Amino acid sequence: MLKTGLIKEELIFTNLEAKTSQELFYFIGNQLLTLDYVKPTFIQAVIDREKEYPTGLALEEFNVAIPHTDSVHIKQPFVAVVKNKYKLPFVHMGTDDHIIDIDCFFILGITDSNGHISLLQTLMERFNMPPFVEKLKKYEGRDLFTFLQTSL
């Protein structure tokens, strides 16, 4: 289970209409900045890190990405979840050029490195559970928030 409070309803975004990954990062980054979760350096840092260390993951019929950056850019820990209206191309984790279309984004803001590894392990475990992925695909808004709060 995740540390209580990492997932908040104000950080669940469904039906976002970003047409590029950059647009998605700017929208989410500005929301996080306004809500005082991140420092002004966060947006560029997450864009740069995604270029250097891609976070796309191909699951069966549903792909996710787990963008994150160094804790120096984070004010308070969070997990923001985005289901974009359009699939966005991201590079698959562990490759330099294998492009996959992403359905759902888990943007992580972790302030301690041990928590970062633990959170990634938890997410990877859940992403390998078909019932979890089916519900992740299905739920929106408050239902998605409630599901994630009780499932992570």
What was the pLDDT predicted at 114? 73
Q: 16: which DSSP letter?
A: E
Query: How confident is the prediction along the chain (152 residues), in pLDDT tens digits per residue?
Result: 555 578 999 999 999 999 999 999 999 999 999 999 999 999 999 999 999 999 999 998 899 999 999 999 999 999 999 999 999 999 999 999 999 999 999 999 999 877 778 888 999 999 999 999 999 999 999 999 999 999 98
Domain 10-138 sits in CATH 3.40.930.10: yes
| HEC profile of 45-91 | HHHHHHHHCCCEEECCCCEEECCECCHHHECCCEEEEEEEEEEEEEE
Joined together, the tokens standing for residue 86 give 């359009």
